[in-house]
Amino acid sequence: MNEERLKQIRRQYEELQQRLQEPGTWQDPAVFAKLQREAQELAPVAEATLAWEKSGQQLGELEEMLADPELREIAWEEKQALLRQREEQEHRLKLLLLPKDPNDGKNVIMEIRAGVGGEEGALFAADLYRMYALYAETRRWNIEVVNLNETELGGIKEMSFVVEGESAFSRLKYEGGGHRVQRVPVTESGGRIHTSAATVAVLPQVEEVDFRLNMNELKIDTFRSSGAGGQHVNKTESAIRVTHLPTGLVVECQDERSQYKNKDRALSIMRAKLYEQEQEKQHAALAAERKSQVGSGDRSDRIRTYNFPQNRVTDHRLTGEGRSFNLESIINGNLDPLLDALIASDQAEKLAAGEREA
């Protein structure tokens, strides 16, 4: 156990708590929110460290009791229970000390695009969005659709939406990648099983305090929102298209309620995309390691297969019997068992890597 690191984290937590009490911090909402988020991230380690230190003190007291013949039996039983408790505390601290993704506490921008399979791929993309919407409801997260391009049959060619909620990115980041479906499409008259696909991109919603856009590098256009078949949803040019001139990245946002809101959302998504690009540049040297990790989010990877005839979802990043889940449950938004398995696998891999390096 790295006691020096634990002490350092406790000091950082105490310093953050002090800064949050300073009047100057309150006057800047963005800085206050950032410091509060950092304090919340350190709080579990600080609290677990206090519990671990307290159990260590109790062990010392029990050692003294063991020297007393009258108290030895009771002290020995208490010591065994306390040793088991400390073992659990140390394991928890090891997990808490694993390298944290700085984006885990952020909201999420998700994009779903139909892949191979034509109309069936678009219908599967719609099923994926429904799955995430139901899951967000169970977590009491809020979803707001930013852009939607539907087909005549109700499928989704492409869409983007924002998920707002506590630790949304820490769980949904494992959804990034290729999703494959095997089933009999509604468009298939012969009853044959087809394989179709959709891709999911997961981006952390980045605040301006984390990444600042250069407005001189952006071209902003307005146009009319449209629905399936190209029919206009409204008669005003409320939709926004933002183009990042140096890279050619384009973001569209269609929300019939407000042009200003569309612009804010489009800029937020553009900021997230550019932030992701910058992060990828900074971590290019670790690309091989990242690909080997659970939940790398590589969009070219096929991460999961939804087999409807067998009522089974298989996540290809997991191994053994624990890689398969009940399809009906998953597709109806019960994602926690699958995501918990991915998180546990990720943690186990990181712990093993840390032990090898040590």
Alpha carbons 38 and 13: distance in angstroms, whole number: 8
Report the run of H or E that residue 260 belongs to, with start and end.
helix 259-282
Q: Would the pLDDT of 298 be above 60? A: no
Structural domain count, the chain = 3
Strand order in the sheet with 142-150: 142-150, 156-164, 108-114, 194-204, 177-183, 302-307, 312-315, 324-326
Indicate whether 168 and 219 sit together in one domain: no
Tens of pLDDT, residues 105-116 = 889 999 999 998
Alpha carbons 182 and 175: distance in angstroms, whole number: 18
Q: Would the pLDDT of 287 be above 90? A: no
Tens of pLDDT, residues 110-137 = 999 999 888 999 999 999 999 999 999 9
Query: How much is the pLDDT for 70?
Result: 84
Alpha carbons 202 and 169: distance in angstroms, whole number: 8
Alpha carbons 10 and 321: distance in angstroms, whole number: 40
Indicate whether 74 and 48 sit together in one domain: yes
Indicate whether 198 and 294 sit together in one domain: yes
Name the percent of the chain lying above pLDDT 90: 36
Give domain status of residue 102, yes or no: no
Indicate whether 236 and 305 sit together in one domain: no
Question: Distance from CA of residue 144 to its chain's centroid?
Answer: 16
102: alpha, beta or left, given left = phi > 0 and alpha = psi -120 to 50?
A: alpha
Task: Please tell me whether residue 189 adopts helix, strand or coil conformation.
Answer: coil
pLDDT-wise least confident of 7-21, 93-107, 278-292: 278-292
Calculate mean pLDDT across residues 213-227: 80
Identify residue 35 by its one-letter amino acid code: L
Give domain status of residue 101, yes or no: no
Give domain status of residue 137, yes or no: yes
Indicate whether 180 and 314 sit together in one domain: yes
Alpha carbons 148 and 158: distance in angstroms, whole number: 6
Domain of residue 246 covers 215-282
- pTM value is 0.69
Query: How much is the pLDDT for 339?
Result: 96
Alpha carbons 22 and 32: distance in angstroms, whole number: 10
For the residues of 83-102, what is the DSSP string, one character each?
HHHHHHHHHHHHHHTSPPPT
Give domain status of residue 349, yes or no: yes
Report the run of H or E that residue 241 belongs to, with start and end.
strand 239-244
Q: Would the pLDDT of 98 be above 80? A: yes
Candidates 126, 125, 109, 208; CA nearest to 168 is 109
Indicate whether 37 and 175 sit together in one domain: no
Indicate whether 63 and 142 sit together in one domain: no
Indicate whether 143 and 270 sit together in one domain: no
Indicate whether 59 and 145 sit together in one domain: no
Query: How much is the pLDDT for 294?
Result: 31
Tens of pLDDT, residues 6-65 = 888 888 898 999 999 888 888 888 888 889 888 988 898 898 988 888 998 999 889 888
Of the residues 262, 282, 302, which one is the last residue of a structural domain?
282
Q: Would the pLDDT of 181 be above 90? A: yes
Candidates 326, 323, 331, 329; CA nearest to 312 is 326
Question: How would you class 350 by CB atoms within 10 Å of its CB: exposed for 0-12, middle for 13-18, buried for 19 or more?
Answer: middle
Number of neighbouring beta carbons within 10 Å of residue 358: 6
Indicate whether 134 and 193 sit together in one domain: yes
Indicate whether 169 and 139 sit together in one domain: yes
Q: Would the pLDDT of 284 be above 70? A: no
pLDDT-wise least confident of 141-150, 268-277, 279-288: 279-288
Alpha carbons 289 and 308: distance in angstroms, whole number: 33
Alpha carbons 101 and 105: distance in angstroms, whole number: 9
Alpha carbons 196 and 344: distance in angstroms, whole number: 29
Of the residues 96, 124, 156, which one is the last residue of a structural domain?
96
Tens of pLDDT, residues 230-273 = 444 445 567 888 898 888 888 888 865 678 788 888 888 888 88
Alpha carbons 111 and 47: distance in angstroms, whole number: 37
Indicate whether 159 and 306 sit together in one domain: yes
